[in-house]
Structure 1
Amino acid sequence: MENTTIKRILIAGSGQVGSEIGFYFAARGLDVVMYDVSQGSLESSRERHGQFATALAAEGWWGTVSPAETLSRLTYETDLAKAAVDVDLVSESVTEAIDVKRETYEGLSLHCPAKTFFTSNTSTMLPSQIAAFTDRPERFLACHVARPIWARPMFEIMPHPGTDAGLVDEIVAFSRRMGLVPILIAKEHAAYISNSLIASFVTTGLDLVARGVASFEDVDRVWMIGTAMEMGPIGMVDMMGIGTVYNALSHMAEHGGRTELLPIVTYLKENFVDQGKLGVASGQGFYRYPDPAFRHAEFLK
């Protein structure tokens, strides 16, 4: 299959990350079907897409088709059999839980055409862990994006030992056609390059806050003043999604032997996750959105 035949994409998981990926590919001229078991999640995704189109059109549009055409290329479906019709590529961004991944890929394997290849945006799992859940492990690999994808356009491509080498070449070519810089991960590594670099930064900031060493605002101020960066580690947690960070750190603590992360996991669960404060996506995390305090000049004074 030539990469130019990738015309229809199924996004499995319509949360913040899946919604951003789906919107990006639609804006690059592909037909995108958003799939989720929850109709409510799909409606929220549709609302996000409208907000993305409005905000990005005002900031300076980067898509290869208009905002209006972008929205027309997006469809929403709770029936996987219908969503999977004639799809060329699946991009999966469901919850970072092994049982959810297994159920998702078993369903995709049942309903997707033989031509379809599967990709996962997993942040914590190795592609070889997930490939076994599919009926086509040789046509599976991880493709991880930075957020938001239109502002940080790269594709971290991680095959597993059983991935067909030709598929890797196709994904590299496809990513370039989509305006994404391909970053090939030569050896399986659960945190990719980006998350490996970010993890120490974010967990150190969260540790200082969770232990009461400093306020989350002061942790961010120190970083922003000291490095002249526009965001600190706690603001980044909000942007990444507190639920996503919580799941990743939980997985590292429980399955990666990183028990020192457990106090941070407990802190996030009790103070944010259990209260529905999930960051940018929910309108409140450590900061309130859409106008967080760290965006104001007074924050650094």
Structure 2
Amino acid sequence: METAQGMNRSVKIFTTHELLFIIGIIGISFSSIFVRWSEADVAVIAMYRLYLTNLLLLPFVWKYRSSMFRLSARQWAWLAASGIMLALHFLLWMASLRLTTVASSTVILTLEPVFVMIGSYFLFRTKANRMMLLGMGIALIGSIVIGSSDFGLSPQALLGDLLSLLGAAAVAVHMLIGKELRKEVNAFAYNFWVFLFAATALAFYNLVKGNAFGGYSSKEWGIFLLLAIVPTLFGHYLFNWLLQYMKAAAVSMSVLGEPVIASLLAWMLLKEPLTGYQLGAGLFILFGVWLFIRYGKEKEPAGA
């Protein structure tokens, strides 16, 4: 009886994490739409997105206030590094949305798990099994197809593609650092400090660039708030929390679902064209993500 109850609890926990994972994918898919709706500089958008997120998190982190400051110098340094990489990701990727299509920008982000896997191999000697590689391969093929019709040949579009690529590399580094820090730092504390470091880094960038910190319309503030709630709290925050239950490479695969939903939203809300090839490729992506999460497990490092 006790064994059966334990199995039921395990199934329930797995189902809850899977559901939260799906919610996170939907949440981050709205990010590109909100950025496109805003007329503010992308660095300002990202800065207020993160600062407002921390304001919303204050009630949850308050009870951890005493332990949040009892961190080692090494932990503070890695929190700052993770925050700076997250800030760089937002800055580069949001800038790409001003230069290329939503489909092209988001599809390039699907290379993030490749960067994560490469980083995991060199840093932790982590290897992937065949099912992980198969799922990733299927999803990446679908991702390439879904954005192929939108890849532009103009210098502006190519610059947007490059910025998205660099943004994918930056967030992969952020994910790898977070995977290790989450073993030592509470989830609420980790997210709060990383978001604060990221927002502050962007604030310095805005100060140097001369961007205005105020004078924005109620519409702009509404967009900043929506970005804090939908793709950040119900997207990136969920993924950071899930790092304690899922592999870093598995959590990073969430970006493969984003081009599907983001492209559909861009088609409906921004009137960007969406072809049958993109719709068909979307099914490939979803199948690849499901295959990776359902059957993929990272192998233990060599010599473990």
Normalising TM by the smaller chain, what interval?
Answer: under 0.3
**TM-score normalized with structure 2 length:** 0.23
Higher relative contact order (CA 8 A, sep 6+): 2
* Richer in helix (by share): 2
